[in-house]
Amino acid sequence: MPAWSTNLGHLPSENDPSAPEAARLRGAFTRAVVEAATARAGPASWPSAVRCIATVGPKGCRAWILVAREGPDAVAWSCPSCGEQGVVTGFAGSASDMSIHGARDKEVTWGFAEDEYEILRLATIGRNELRRVVVRASPHAEIPGLLLVRATIDELDEVYTLVEELEGRTRSRKKLEILTGLRFSLSTAMDGF
């Protein structure tokens, strides 16, 4: 498998209509990898909530990507399923760099579903203090589709407020059901049940 070496500053915007779709997809994947890797402290590799975008045979790989911070401006990633891997540089101080937002208090574990993760990733664009909480999610080792995050009560309370805001703006019944589930899981984590 190829080893990708990517400078984040050289990637097209996800919304750049002049860039080919494959380049926008690779850019979105690379930004998600950087966000995940910089959202946690320490250089140890860990499974993120980012899915592999490599094509394996007639379909996509979709395995969870392992990420690790390798220095102030280097992130390594790899797919344990298909073997694709790479290093990303050029992200320090960018909107994708989540390292400047750090938790200080005691943390609790919050579990939520992958479809909830996608809603929260979209809702936290430009809100890095909340995005940092969401993107440090890691898949549960035994329960498919369940993601876990270690966060402070204050961080979870801020995410709860965001979910309430989203509920107030949403008219889709399906999305309202998902948001209701998010509020319940957040309450459970914050109350310690």
Q: Can you tell me the distance from the alpha carbon of 51 to that of 180, in angstroms, rounded to the nearest whole number? A: 25
The pLDDT, as a whole number, for residue 99 is 84
Query: Mean pLDDT, to the nearest integer, of 18-24?
Result: 86
Query: Mean pLDDT, to the nearest integer, of 74-103?
Result: 88
Query: Are the C-beta atoms of 4 and 82 separated by less than 8 Å?
Result: no
3-state secondary structure of 9: helix
Confidence grade of residue 106 (pLDDT, cut at 50, 70, 90) = confident
> Domain limits of the chain?
3-89, 107-191
Query: Mean pLDDT, to the nearest integer, of 81-107?
Result: 85
Query: Mean pLDDT, to the nearest integer, of 105-125?
Result: 92
As a whole number, the mean pLDDT across the chain is 90
Q: What is the pLDDT of residues 34-43, one digit of tens each?
A: 999 999 877 6
Q: Can you tell me the distance from the alpha carbon of 108 to that of 23, in angstroms, rounded to the nearest whole number? A: 37
pTM score: 0.82
CA end-to-end distance (rounded Å), the chain: 44
Query: Mean pLDDT, to the nearest integer, of 36-52?
Result: 89
Confidence grade of residue 52 (pLDDT, cut at 50, 70, 90) = very high
